[in-house]
Amino acid sequence: MKVQLQVWRQSGVSAPPHLQLYSIDAESNWSVLDCLEAVSRREDPSLSYRDNCFSAVCGDCGLRANGREILACANGVSKFPADADGVIHIELRPLRNHPVIRDLAVDRDRFFDRQTAVCAFFAISGYHEFVEGAAMQAAQSVTTCLSCGICDSACEAYTVRADFFGPAALAWTLRFAQDPREEALAQRRSVLDSPRGLSGCVDCGACSDVCPEAIPIHEMIRAAR
């Protein structure tokens, strides 16, 4: 199967970007990440991108393919449209709302800084009873988060408010705020009610749409307002 990749090339955050064309022969079961690996190993070792687990676990390989945020390792090339000659065309760009380090590799510090700012970890002490039923369901829905940051890439709220906490940080805050074991509820509430919190969401719905773990982030935000 012929695949043509138009790949974003950029040597640094302020360098002018351009798209570079790579044509490769791919197997029908290859992922987008397999194609990048083929380019990097056989054709152009200077191409930069992030990967780690190759199995949709680490969250490192987020990028935009034909305008949509995806995990490159979890999306097969065969599902992209082919032209009349059977050639698949995919345009690959880095995640938005993250500074580009080089090519498709982005700086994820800002994303993790927002997790730190909202204290995206439990504040509990001592022994607690098991949590069951609806409370456990709410907690589990966010526990699968890969911290891939692709919801933050798709989020339109940053164009209005650059210091918005973002969908992932708010999802984690809601996850702890709704857990009966959580002891820092006042702190959770101050995050959610701050100008950087729930009110910053512009209801575009993109976070829920692109999340590879199908976490209903937008629905959680709407329900919490």
Asked if 104 and 60 touch (Cβ cutoff 8 Å), the reply is: no
Q: Considering the rule CB under 6 A, would residue 106 count as an interface residue with ligand SF4?
A: no
Considering the complex, what minimum distance in angstroms separates the CB of residue 91 from ligand SF4? 21
Query: Rounded distance, CA 81 to CA 73, Å?
Result: 18
CA-to-CA distance for 150 and 212, rounded, in angstroms? 9
* Element counts in the chain: helices (H) and strands (E): 8, 7
Least separation in angstroms between residue 186's CB and ligand SF4 is 23
Judging by DSSP bridges, how do beta strands 88-93 and 2-9 pair with one another?
parallel
Indicate whether 194 belongs to the interface with ligand SF4 (CB under 6 A): no
Q: Contact 64/93 with Cβ under 8 angstroms? A: yes
Instruction: Compare residues 4 and 194 and give the one whose CB is closer to ligand SF4.
Output: 194
94 binds, among ligand FES, ligand SF4, none (CB under 5 to 8 A by kind): none
Nearer to ligand SF4, 191 or 206 (CB): 206
Binding residues among 24-53 for ligand FES as defined by CB under 6 A: 51-53
In the block, which residue shows the tokens 């575009």? 204
Q: Contacts with ligand FES: how many residues (CB under 6 A)?
A: 12
Cβ at position 208, least distance to ligand FES in Å:
19
Kindly identify the residues of this chain, within the stretch 72-101, that bind ligand FES according to CB under 6 A.
73
Relative to beta strand 88-93, strand 100-102 is unpaired
Residue 76 is given by DSSP the state B
| Cα separation, 217 vs 148, whole angstroms | 14
Q: How far is the CB of 59 from ligand SF4 (least distance, A)?
A: 6
Q: In the bound complex, what is the minimum distance in angstroms from residue 171's beta carbon to ligand SF4?
A: 5
Residues that bind ligand SF4 (CB under 6 A): 145-151, 154-157, 167-168, 171, 201-207, 211-213, 215, 217-218, 221
